[in-house]
Amino acid sequence: MSAAEIAPLRLMAVHAHPDDESSKGAATMARYASEGVDVLVVTCTGGERGSILNPKMDRPDILENMGEVRRLEMDRAREILGVRQRFLGFVDSGLPEDENEALPEGCFAVQSLPDASAPLVAAVREFRPHVILTYDDNGGYPHPDHIMTNRVSVEAFEAAGDPDRYPDAGEPWTPLKLYYHMSFSKERFEALHEAMTAREMGSPYGDWIARWEDRPEKWDVTTRVPCADFFETRDRALLAHATQVDPDGFWFVCPREIQMEVWPTEDFHLARSLVDTTVPEDDLFAGVHAEAPTACS
């Protein structure tokens, strides 16, 4: 039985920049949206300080209008995924070349936690999601905007249901589950590497895996959502972000057919849950279905 047959469910995915929603959890969102789940992508910044990562788009006129271009790209990706989307309005912090480099004044990552969280708390109370997706406490990778996105997501998850916190941000609503994306696990890339090597295709992942330093993953995968049928949708959404995604680059080096066969899921870590569930899960709404019609406010 699909999620939509059980209850009118809502899923919110909180991301740092336009394009992050298409590289992390996109097939999962497209699958749930196709089942009737109401899916909202919240994008914290406009990506104004992003670099042009696709050589075919490396033109001065685009770089000068990066914020506007990335908003248009986001709109195309949103339409492809079948989801809703809103910007919180913060300014991209950029990625410092040196860890000691000061971040730009007024950017997202230098905001106080209450100031950065208040718009997201308001969005949670308005949209009333049952499940929220975000990054882990290292941001998935240590970009200052990704780390701040984790911080505001955790704050909003914990504060949105408390009428004494952020009293000007709307009527309280308590989300039920919070997940971290686990899109880039060593286990996944080892599986893709072995599959490509076995087919004598040559794999780009060998050196990358070797540099992993054999450190354990901080967060375990608790939830694997089957969504291979939506990998093609995910790829089209990625390509909509033409300034950020090279069609001849890393994202597409492993044939989709191999990905569908070898790793047909997108993976998550259940970071918070207010409902009873048993891991491992194959559904972000596991344990939520019984709660959804009366999810607490």
Distance CA 21, CA 42 (A): 9
Q: pLDDT for 123-137, tens place per residue?
A: 999 999 999 999 999
> In this prediction, what percent of the chain has a pLDDT beyond 70?
94
Annotated binding site: 17, 20, 146
Structure token digits, residue 209: 């895996």
Q: pLDDT for 121-177, tens place per residue?
A: 999 999 999 999 999 999 888 899 999 999 999 999 999 999 999 999 999 999 999
In terms of Cβ atoms closer than 10 Å to its own Cβ (0-12, 13-18, 19+), residue 251 is middle
Task: Find all residues with CB under 8 Å of 89, minimum gap 6, and list them.
Answer: 46, 119
Structure token digits, residue 49: 């300080």
Distance CA 217, CA 267 (A): 13
φ, ψ at 144 (rounded to 5°) = -60, -35
CATH 3.40.50.10320 fits 6-185+220-294, yes or no: yes
In the DSSP assignment, the letter for residue 105 is T
The model's pTM is: 0.93
Q: Is the pLDDT of residue 297 over 50?
A: no
3-state helix, strand, coil in the chain (%, to 5): 40, 15, 45
Give the domain ranges of the chain.
Answer: 6-185+220-294
Distance CA 244, CA 55 (A): 9
Q: Are 47 and 108 in contact (CB under 8 A)?
A: no
Distance CA 173, CA 12 (A): 13
Annotated binding site for Zn(2+): 17, 20, 146
